[in-house]
Structure 1
Amino acid sequence: MTRAAPRVSVVMPIYNGAAYLAASIDSVLAQTQDDFELILVDDGSTDETARIIARYAAQDQRVRPIAKANSGIADTLNQGLAVARADWVARLDSDDLMVPQRLERQLAFVAANPDLVAAGSYYEIIDPAGARHGSRTPLPRSREELQRFLVAREPLSFLHPSMIFRRQTAIDLGGYDKRTEPAEDVDLFARMLATGAPILIQPEILLYYRVHANAVSARSATRQFMSVRWTYHNFYAAREGRPTLAYDAFIEHERRRPWRDRLALKAQLLSDGLYRRSTIALVGGRKPLALAYLALASTLRPGKAIRRALRSVMPSHPTPKSS
C-alpha cells in the first residue's frame, strides 16, 4: 500500500558531500516534527556519498535515495521536486544543519500565514568544525518590509537551504531553470513573487549554515552576483510592462551604462566580495583579517553597513529550545 503523503518533503541535493553528509542527515532525522520524507538526490558523486545514503536508507524508511548522472544543481533539484509528495518542500544542503525544531516551526509559520508561497529564516554561521560564528537576520520579515523592497526596485535574495516553499507552485512555474545557474534559486523565488504571493523571513534561527574557505570562487561569485541582477532586472521590467533581456543582452546593457553607474556597480560587487571574504576569514579564525575586510566593505557600501548594524542591535531571536 502507498503511504500517506508526509507533511513536508526535505530535498537535499548532493555532489561529493561525504564530509558533512551524515551530520546533515542526522539533523533532519532528529526533527521534532517527524512526519517528513527526506529525499537525497546524488548528482553523480565520486566519493563516499552513495554508501552513506544507502546506509541511512536501510535504517529509516523516511529516507528516499535517488542516484543520477552528474548534470548540475538545477536538474538535481528538479528530480527531487518531481518525486516529492508533500505540499511543502524544505531545502537543506549536504553540509548544513537543521535546528531540531526547524520543520515544526516553519510549518507553524506558513500555517499562520496561509498567503505565503515560501518562507526562509534567520540562520547561524558555523565553520567546518561546527563552531558558531554569529547569526544573520535577513529581510523581509513582514509584508510591509517586502513592499518597501518592491517599491525601491531592490533585488531579494533568500538563503536557499533555509527555505520552505509550496511544491505545486514550484512545479507549475517549471521548477528550477538550468539557464540561471548559479542563481537558480533566486530565479525561482523571483518567479514565485511575480505571482503576487509574498515570501517572508521567519525571525527565528532555524538553520546552521556552514561556511568553507573554498566554497565559492571569485569567478563564480561574480557570475552569481550578475545573475541576481539580471533576474531582478527582468522581474521589475515585467512588473512595469517593459521588455525583458536575455543574459548576454543584459550584460551588454550593463556595459553601456554611464561610467558613474558602472563604477557604482563595481563598488557594489567588490563590497559583496569583501563581505564574503570577511565571513570566510572569521570562520577560519582570522578575526583581524575579517575585521579589515568588513571595514573595506563598509567603506564601499556604507548604507548596507548601517542596515546590518541596525539589525544587529535589534532584540535577538534565539534558536528555539527543546521542549
Structure 2
Amino acid sequence: MTEAGDNGPRISVVMATYNGAAHIREQLDSLAAQTCLPAELVVTDDGSTDATLDIVADFARTAPFPVQIHRNAKRFGYKGNFMHAVTLSSGDLISFCDQDDFWKSDNLERVRQAFMNDPDVLMVFHNAHLVNERRAPISPFYATPPVPPVSRPLTLQPWCFSYGFMQTFRADLKPAGALWARMGDHYNPGKEMGHDLFFFLVASGVGTIVYLDDELTEYRLHGGNTVGSGKRTRPTFVDRWRYRLEDRADTYRYLARMTAQDSRMFADLAQTSSWSETMRNRARVAAEAWRGLEPLYILRAEVCSGTLPRRIAAFVQLVREGGYSERSFWTFGNRAMYKDFVLGVLLAPLVRRFGRESSRTDRACHRGSAHDAPMSQAAPVQAVAA
C-alpha cells in the first residue's frame, strides 16, 4: 500500500455528505483499503441530522490519511456542496466520492496511473457496477464503452458528460470553478449546472479525457439516491416513437442559449492567469467552437417551427453551412438531415399537434431531451439524438 504522493501526484478525495449514515461507513472503509491511499479526504456536510458526522469523526481517528471535516454554515445542495469541497482540497488530483458507494481497492491506483502516462490528461473517468442496497450486483454501468479510451480536446460530442462518482481531474481545473455559479444546466432549465458536468465540460475543451473501461466503483441503488433511481426501466415502443416524433423546437432554442453560455465561459477561461498558454489557447478555440453551434441550433429550431417557406429556407441554409456534415462530431449528421426534412420541413404542423396531444396524455414521456436528463439510462447524456 502506498500514499499517492510517494511516486506520483497527490490525490484529494472530496465527499459531499448529507444524511448518509446508512452506508457511509462502508464507503469510508473502502477508501482506507485503497492500494494507493489518498493524500487527504475532504468531507463537507450539508446539514445532516443523522449520525453521518459521528461516523466520519470515528473513522478519522484511525484513518491512514488526514480527514478534513467541514460543517457547512448554510445548505449548498449536492452540486454546490461538491463544488465547495473542491475549493478546500489541496491535492494535485481531485476525485469525487459519493457517500453511499463502494470503491474497489485499486480504484485510485488505476486512475492515478492514467494521469502519469500523459501530462495532457485533465480528467479520467471509469466504468462502475450497479449494485442494490446490499451490494448485490445488478449490471455494469456502461454495457459498452461510451467514448474512446482517449479523447483529445473538442473531439467528444458537445452534450456528453460522465457522472461525478467516476470522475477524477487535475487541480489545474480548479480556477474554472469560480465561473460555476453562473452556469445553467444543459438539461434542466432554471437549474445550476451539475458539478460533474461542469468539470467534464471544461476538461473536454482544454485537455484530454481518458476513459477506463474497468468497474472500479460499486454504484449503490437504494431508492434514496440524490441522482439516479433504484428502478431502471427500458422505454416502451410507444415511448421511443413519442421521443422520435416530439416537437424539438423549444429544445433546440434552449440548446442554442446553452452554446452561447458555454462559449462565454471558455472565452473567460482564456484569461485565466494560472493556466498555461496551451490551455488558454485551447479555451479560445473552444469558445469559437461553441459559438459556432449557436446559429446551427437556431436554424434547426426554425426547421421545426416556422412557416413552410421559413422551414425550407432554414433547412437549405443548414445544409449549405455543413450542419449535417459527417466530417465533424460538432454537426448533426445525415440521419438528422433526413429526420429534419421529413418531420420538420414536410410534417412540422402534424408533429406539433402530436406533441400537444402527447403532452396532455402523458407529460412524463419526454425522455432524453434537454429538459430531462435520462437518469434511467446508464450512459453519458446525449441531449439531442438524430
**Given the alignment, which residue of 86, 90, 93 partners 1:85?**
90
Aligned to 2:58, the other structure's residue is in SS state helix
Q: Which residue of 1 aligns with 2:119?
A: 114
Aligned to 1:149, the other structure's residue is in SS state coil
CA distance in 2, matches of 1:209, 1:231: 30
CA distance in 2, matches of 1:100, 1:107: 13
CA distance in 2, matches of 1:8, 1:212: 28
CA distance in 1, matches of 2:287, 2:302: 21
Moved over 6 A (4+): 252-257, 261-268, 272-275
CA distance in 2, matches of 1:256, 1:171: 38
Q: Is the 8 A contact 2:156 2:204 kept in 1?
A: no
Aligned to 1:117, the other structure's residue is in SS state strand
Structure 2 residue identity aligned to 1:115: D
**Given the alignment, which residue of 135, 140, 159 partners 2:147?**
140
Deviations 1:156-188 (A, max 9, x none): 111211111011322345274375435232123
2:191 maps to 1:187: no
Structure with a larger share of its residues in helix: 1
CA pair 207-169 structure 1, distance change in 2 beyond 3 A? same
CA distance in 2, matches of 1:199, 1:41: 27
Larger Rg: 2
Deviations 1:235-287 (A, max 9, x none): 47933363899xxxxxx9998772557969999942587974588xxxxxxxx
Q: Which residue of 2 aligns with 1:315?
A: none
Return the offset for 1:94.
0.5
Q: TM-score, normalised by structure 1?
A: 0.67
| Number of positions where the alignment pairs a residue of Structure 1 with one of Structure 2 | 263
Return the offset for 1:136.
2.6
CA pair 38-231 structure 1, distance change in 2 beyond 3 A? farther
Return the offset for 1:59.
2.2
CA pair 217-205 structure 1, distance change in 2 beyond 3 A? closer
Aligned to 1:10, the other structure's residue is in SS state strand
CA distance in 2, matches of 1:277, 1:207: 18
5 Å-filtered alignment, 1:1-323, equals 7-60=10-63, 61-68=65-72, 69-137=74-142, 138-143=145-150, 149-150=156-157, 154-174=158-178, 176-177=180-181, 179-180=183-184, 181=192, 183-195=194-206, 197-215=207-225, 216=227, 231=258, 234-235=261-262, 238-240=287-289, 242=291, 258=304, 260=343, 269-270=366-367, 276-277=375-376
Q: Is the 8 A contact 1:173 1:191 kept in 2?
A: no
CA distance in 2, matches of 1:189, 1:274: 16
Q: TM-score, normalised by structure 2?
A: 0.57
Identity %: 22
Return the offset for 1:135.
0.8
